[in-house]
Amino acid sequence: MTSAFLSNAVNPATESLRGSDPPGMSSAAAGAKAAGGGPPFEVLLELSNLANGPTTGSVKLQINPNWSPLGAKQFRSLVSDGFYDEARFFRVVPNFVVQFGINADPAVQKLHKTPINDDPTGVKSNMRGTVTFATSGLNTRTTQLFINTKNNPPLDGMGFTPFGEVIEGMDVVDHIYDKAREKPNQGKIQNRGNEYLNAEFPELSYIVSAKILA
């Protein structure tokens, strides 16, 4: 199973920090145009097992389909299905990103292997608080996401297209447990889910529920 940094894993300087669209209308741009934009909507994340303060908190996201039509559509579908409930923040690089998006149940994760096409880059920059799909190359976005915890404009030219942003609760994001850094093994998470994480990394912060508000 390929890792997604920002892929499904690896290191801030590698994973799939690669792959901008070539000049002209790429297949990604054509797919995004077909998907269209649409009005923004909000998603509420209830978090638990936070560090250095209250152990629970809420994060409100505003999703903007005009930034990333295909990404916003994928995220809405996954949230509607309850996909992110109980998902752990398994990769946290301080002053860079927090990454999540592998389902608690390996059987459920296996149902979501089909990737979506990329959206055109450059519409919205990867600034602090923006939410972006992880990737392991061109047109490989599936379920994994990251929240930028600092301004990361270098990611803009590497194929990472934000589709939403934190509008309330960024202080909660800053309290996501970060001591495990990149130690959790993504292959083991894919194969064993929360059974592995609860046994080896019980301190990880996690999403209790994700719900669409409007």
pLDDT tens for each residue of 22-65: 333 344 444 545 556 799 999 999 999 999 999 999 999 999 99
We report the CATH number of the domain holding residue 88 as 2.40.100.10
Q: Is the pLDDT of residue 88 over 90?
A: yes
Whole-structure pTM value: 0.86
Helix/strand/coil for 38: coil
The answer to whether residue 17 is domain-embedded is no
Helix/strand/coil for 146: strand
- Do the Cβ atoms of 50 and 175 come closer than 8 Å? yes
pLDDT tens for each residue of 100-154: 999 999 999 999 999 999 999 999 999 999 999 999 999 999 999 999 999 999 9
The answer to whether residue 68 is domain-embedded is yes
Spatial separation of the C-alpha atoms in residues 5 and 134, rounded to whole Å: 5
**Mean of pLDDT over the chain:** 88
The answer to whether residue 16 is domain-embedded is no
The tally of domains found in the chain comes to: 1
Domain enclosing residue 30, as ranges:
4-11+26-212
The answer to whether residue 102 is domain-embedded is yes
The answer to whether residue 96 is domain-embedded is yes
Spatial separation of the C-alpha atoms in residues 170 and 37, rounded to whole Å: 25
